[in-house]
Amino acid sequence: MKDKGITVFKSVCRSCHGGCGVRVFVKNGKVVNVKGDPDSPLNKGWMCIKGIKSPDIANHQDRLKRPLKRKGARGDNEWQEISWQTALDEIAEKIDVLRREWGPETIAIGQGTGRHHYLHVVRFANALGTPNWYEPGLAQCFIPRITVSHLTYGGFVVADYYSETNPECIVFWGHNPLISSADGEPAAAVKRVLRKGCRTIAIDPRRSETAKRCEMWLPVRPGTDAALALAMIHVMIKRRLYDREFVENWTSGFNELSEHTATFTPSRAEGITGIKEGDIVRATEIYSSVKPAVLDWGLGIEQNANSLQTVRALALLRALTGNIDIPGGDILGMNTLKAYPVLKDKLPPEVSKKRLGADEFKLLGGWRAYMPSAHIPAIFRSMAEGAPYKIRGLLLFGNNPLLTVANPQRVYEGLKNLDMLVVTDLFMTPAALMADYLLPAAFWTESEHLQGFPLVAENLVMYQPPIVKTEECRQDESIIDELSKRLKLPGSEMNYRDIFEHQLSPTGLTLEDIKKRRYYYPPHEYEKFKKKGFRTLTKKVELYSTALKRMGYPPLPVYSEPPESPVSSPKLSRKFPYILITGSRRKEYFHSEQRQVRSLRRLNPKPLAEVHTKVAKEKGIEEGESIIVSSPRGEIKMNAKVTDHIHPLVVSIDHGWWFPEKPDKSFGLWESNANILTNDSPPYDPAFGSYQLRGILCNIEKEQKKQA
């Protein structure tokens, strides 16, 4: 399609996790406009501001465009341009030396969350022979939900926002989809359902943009979600509100669950969560009685040391209400594509045992893990301290750990201590500043990809074509393929396009076919369990998890108080009387990305800390004032956002903040970095190794008062 020198291409926006179908307008080899594609089954023409501003990212003057090699001391920002051949040859040689002299496990690989190259990075790590790869989420985001879904239902569930049957009730739990548009479930889909009308409940310490659209808002004390879920289970069973037919025919362990939750009354939960007993009962009655219903959960339930049990408790609510895999409910994925060949079999068992954290956290790094990976605190501790062995090399693909991992001081010491650091990214970042080699990554408009959406469920397949080329920027998968060939790794004869063909094989389509179609969206099959049962050991939804019991974890969900809270740390709470949550999303940014894009930055120019009106008045804090937020681990500067829409004792801060305009000050890395306040120390979740990013103690003061 052409008009006045402009060519229009259909693609998939990847300015975040992705999934929105788009039309990309190109003139003279540059992207000049991006609009939503009305034909996309997911977003149907809608787009968020990040996607709309994609041309400003693609054409940004500060993008990395050529391979760079460090000249001066690490972190001095002195570079020399080198050719791709030189860069890849030298990097491959250094990797080879490290793996031969010290062992492949001494090389770690990190990547950003939800990237198009995600599984290709995992494949590269397995082929290289290192068990130590990571992604900043994993134990803190999404992997607990995926793993628990598979253990409980035998597959991953997503909200059915796309069928002709509308959900009649939605419980948004620790999730703000109207802003996050997470994992191939864009805000447009949620908005469509809300416009049609349904009962809505939001469970969140802050009244998010999504919560403001709900009839009920339950401002739960951070870290106590499991207690609330257990009380709701108690009410369902005690008042016989559960779906008796589904429970009797398709679940196992109901009697054990009933006995287990008998004493977890709403009154008891009120004392823990701060939610009134009557509101707990009312919310449970609505969710139990209105069908079909969706429980739409988010990462807010995972970022604590009781991650497994919290997610399990929520998962059981779906089963009790019988809303699994029915139209308008929580549906099991179609898994349309063939599994990505990550070469797990190429990693020898004796090497897998060297994975940092594998012995301790079985569902993160052990053999039952959904996607076995290393424990992030252990990786950076290994770099900084050399125990139990030293990580000597690190390759980062679209990851900025100084902003996205807890305890950035230890991360910084670890990066300084490396023999080799290679960073592939779009822009110079605080982590990239520390690199030995800096490789320019292709933006989504320059990359080719095949992806199933929503993520993990894969009900819809979408193809993303390479549309333009920006100087010497290369797609991450291509870089990995070139390194694999130089290192003669197993599987290196199969490039990423070959893998796309492999994945498409169950559909009967070829890569050329999907290039022409752009979308492949087979009709959804509901109630698949009625044919062969659920893909669990009992062929039923496991309320009582036999798999967890065998691994030594409680088979029924339990509540434990957060290790740092007003209840568990009363002495500490006198100095830090408020409860901190981090990670609230802003529509202009994707985690630590896009701070240098003026058209986005001007819409949200400063790092914000949401503070309740009452607390702000007590502290003499006015809207927009600079404040100091402190925790037992440090302090940062934020700007106050005074609001009634937050739990009175909770302070919510933006994460991912750095200042690209301050290259002389390490991009302001230490000014407003939320992870300076968070905790990467034990106790961890026993199964996933999740650490406490929410529900920790903090204090706030006006900046000038703090300085006085």
Residue-range domain boundaries for the chain? 2-58, 68-136+337-443+472-491, 144-333+530-551, 570-707
Which tokens hold the place of 118?
Answer: 């995600």
For residue 93, the one-letter residue type is E
User: Residue 63: its pLDDT value, please?
Assistant: 98
User: Residue 708: its pLDDT value, please?
Assistant: 45
Same fold, 2-58 and 68-136+337-443+472-491: no
Q: How far apart are CA 171 and CA 300, in angstroms?
A: 14
> Any idea which residue has 């259909």 for tokens?
10
Contact (CB, 8 A) for 468 and 31 = yes
End-to-end CA distance of the chain: 64
User: Tell me, which fold does domain 2-58 have in CATH?
Assistant: Phosphorylase Kinase; domain 1 (3.30.200)
Residue 437's H or E segment, with its range, is strand 437-440
What's phi and psi for 228, nearest 5 deg? -65, -45
Q: How far is CA 300 from CA 184, 303, 604, in A?
A: 18, 6, 22
Q: How far is CA 366 from CA 124, 280, 363, 374, 597, in A?
A: 19, 37, 6, 9, 40
Q: How far apart are CA 626 and CA 357, in angstroms?
A: 40
Q: How far apart are CA 682 and CA 680, in angstroms?
A: 7
User: Residue 183: its pLDDT value, please?
Assistant: 81
Angle at 511 between CA 506 and CA 512, to 5 degrees: 130
Q: What is the pTM of this model?
A: 0.96
Strand stretches in 251-362, DSSP E: 251-252, 293-297, 330-332
Contact (CB, 8 A) for 621 and 578 = no
Contact (CB, 8 A) for 122 and 133 = yes
Strands 330-332 and 157-159: antiparallel
Mean pLDDT by 10 residues, the chain (708 residues): 82 90 97 96 94 97 98 94 98 98 98 91 98 92 95 96 94 95 87 95 97 98 98 98 98 98 98 98 98 96 96 98 97 96 95 95 93 96 96 97 96 97 98 98 97 91 96 98 98 97 96 95 96 96 96 97 97 98 91 96 97 98 98 98 98 97 94 96 96 95 70
Q: How far is CA 13 from CA 84, 158, 519, 621, in A?
A: 27, 20, 14, 40
User: For residue 376, with 0-12 CB atoms within 10 Å meaning exposed, 13-18 middle and 19 or more buried, which class applies?
Assistant: buried
Describe the chain by its helix, strand, coil percentages, rounded to 5. Answer: 35, 20, 45
User: Residue 356: its pLDDT value, please?
Assistant: 97
Q: How far apart are CA 541 and CA 573, in angstroms?
A: 41
Contact (CB, 8 A) for 306 and 693 = no
Q: How far is CA 478 from CA 36, 84, 120, 324, 626, in A?
A: 28, 12, 10, 40, 45
For residue 529, the one-letter residue type is F
User: Tell me, which fold does domain 68-136+337-443+472-491 have in CATH?
Assistant: Rossmann fold (3.40.50)
In this structure, how many other beta carbons lie within 10 angstroms of the beta carbon of residue 623? 12
Which residues, at least 6 apart from 698, have a Cβ–Cβ distance to it below 8 Å?
Answer: 576, 578, 579, 580, 629, 630, 631, 651, 677
Contact (CB, 8 A) for 240 and 225 = no
Contact (CB, 8 A) for 92 and 82 = no
Which tokens hold the place of 184?
Answer: 């191939």
DSSP state of 261: T
To the question of domain 570-707 being in CATH 2.40.40.20, the answer is yes
Domain 144-333+530-551: CATH class, spelled out: alpha beta
In this structure, how many other beta carbons lie within 10 angstroms of the beta carbon of residue 648? 14
For residue 447, the one-letter residue type is S
Which residues, at least 6 apart from 271, have a Cβ–Cβ distance to it below 8 Å?
Answer: none
User: Residue 705: its pLDDT value, please?
Assistant: 54
